[in-house]
Amino acid sequence: MIVVGGGIGGLGAAFSLTRQGLAVRLLESAPAFGEVGAGIQLAPNCTRILDDYGLLQEAKSLGVVPDAMIMRDAVDGDELTRLDLRDLERRYGFPYLVIHRSDLHGLLLRACGRAGVELINDAQVTSYENTAVGARVTLASGRTHEAGVVIAADGLHSVARRLLVDDRPVSSAYVAYRGTVPADRERVKSVDLGEVVVYIGPGCHFVHYGLRGGEMLNQVAVFESPKALAGREDWGTPDELDAAFADTCDFVRDGLPFMWRDKWWRMFDRDPIMNWVHGRIALLGDSAHPPLQYIAQGAIMAIEDGWVLGEHVARHRAADGTPDWDAALAAYESVRPEHCRRVVTTSRAWGELWHLDGVPREQRNALLRARATADYSFVDWLYGPTALTPDQEPPMFEPIPLSSAIPRTAAQGTAA
């Protein structure tokens, strides 16, 4: 079989399917394998799969298992709520882990190499088509590859997705800056590297956590671009970064000089689709469900996709042991699109919640302050075992209306 795309999703799928005894050829368009960016957060629904793959201990040795996740107000720096990540590990059975993207990518690449995946670079796929016995891809070079099935993990700008829907990426008008700071810098000495902290503010937020066993601090600054809202092409520039965080607390502003200012990431997603399979061609990862980053599930969903597909290949085999691809792909498509639809839409809603201003900001803060630390109702649907069938998909959490909150200022006024 063929997997198109050598990112985290493609490598995870290739490894998962090789575990089922399949010969997998992975086609990557770049001349060398690699991953850009900095930190990535892996919740228990991902570390559970890494454990099943026999890769969790290596991942833990490369990353940091933090003690707490803390949400603060970006304007005044006050703590709003927190998750005890050690208690969370006891609840779900697996840890919350933060790791450098390149370290996770390298871990999966090495696992694929050990498993015998055929890894091919400089293989840019320009078209997909079904055949009488499977599917075919054509490369920019004109060369073709054929297999019984093709898994398209070809990212946000997926070519394969066009077989199923005529749509385009959706701009959120938000942009992310990233940067890492060595642990010996004064900036880091004042920070607990065992915490994942997010400062949420009007039209912006700022995240930090430790990486590589505490060797560095990872920082992410995200903001809404006025230039993007105005329809300009040159949006997300460093001057907008500084302006967006001008009214935030000292700690957040002091982190901005450490951001990489020569590159930034514009934040796009796509509207959810419920059909991922076209004959013997199936979407996986961002080609099917690119989310905004607010609940840190993008790479995790891709890893889950590959694990679920592998499990269904194991469960749907013909009498001679060969995969019943029609049944396996149907089972995959019956469960993953709905879960990922929930993640994509919740990520959008969470981004709106984080970036409120005025009275809605005060209402949000009041709700977060009132939350019990041991309340996991808003993550149970995410962090529990990955569903293999629709009946295993847990119910969604029930959002609490902002209107039900009494802002601190209003409460103080009533008391007076």
Answer whether residue 404 is part of any domain: no
Answer whether residue 384 is part of any domain: no
Strand pairing class (97-100; 39-42): antiparallel
Answer whether residue 37 is part of any domain: yes
Answer whether residue 9 is part of any domain: yes
Residues of the domain holding 34? 1-351
The amino acid at 339:
H
96 is catalytic: no
Q: What local confidence, expressed as pLDDT, does residue 414 receive?
A: 46
Spot the catalytic one: 128, 174, 209, 383.
209
Q: Which of 347, 355, 315 is nearest to 331 (CA)?
A: 315
Answer whether residue 82 is part of any domain: yes
Answer whether residue 244 is part of any domain: yes
> Count of domains in the chain?
1
286, 306 Cβ separation under 8 angstroms = no
Query: Tens digit of pLDDT per residue, the chain (416 long)?
Result: 999 999 999 999 999 999 999 999 999 999 998 877 789 999 999 999 999 999 999 999 999 999 999 999 999 999 999 999 999 999 999 999 999 999 999 999 999 999 999 999 999 999 999 999 999 999 999 999 999 999 999 999 999 999 999 999 999 999 999 999 999 999 998 899 999 999 999 999 999 999 998 899 999 999 999 999 999 999 999 999 999 999 999 999 999 999 999 999 999 999 999 999 999 999 999 999 999 999 999 999 999 999 999 999 999 999 898 999 999 999 999 999 999 999 999 999 999 999 999 999 999 999 999 999 999 999 999 999 999 999 999 999 988 899 998 887 655 554 44
Burial 129-158, CB ≥16 within 10 A → b, else e: beeeebbbbebeeeeebebebbbbbbbeeb
Cα within 13 Å of Cα(284), Cβ side: 35
Answer whether residue 311 is part of any domain: yes
d(Cα 136, Cα 131) in Å, to the nearest integer?
Answer: 7
Task: Provide the H-helix boundaries in 95-223.
Answer: 101-115, 186-189
Q: What local confidence, expressed as pLDDT, does residue 122 receive?
A: 97
CA dist list (Å): 270 to 147, 287, 352:
28, 9, 16
Answer whether residue 70 is part of any domain: yes
280, 4 Cβ separation under 8 angstroms = no
For residue 254, give the CATH number of its domain. 3.50.50.60
